[in-house]
Amino acid sequence: MSDDLSDFFALPPFKADEALVKLRRDLRELKALSEKGTGDLVRFEWKSAPAIELSLAQGDKPALAVSLAKRPIQRPEWRKQMLSSSAEVRKWLDEVKRSLKQWDDED
Is 78 part of a structural domain of the chain? yes
Is 13 part of a structural domain of the chain? no
Is 12 part of a structural domain of the chain? no
Report the relative pairing of strands 33-36 and 42-46 from DSSP bridges. antiparallel
Is 40 part of a structural domain of the chain? yes
pLDDT at 5 over 70: no
- pLDDT, one tens digit per residue, over 62-90 is 899 999 999 888 899 999 999 999 999 99
Please state the domain count of the chain.
1
* pTM score: 0.83
Q: Which domain holds residue 39?
A: 29-106
Mean pLDDT of 15-38: 89
Is 7 part of a structural domain of the chain? no
Is 2 part of a structural domain of the chain? no
Is 68 part of a structural domain of the chain? yes
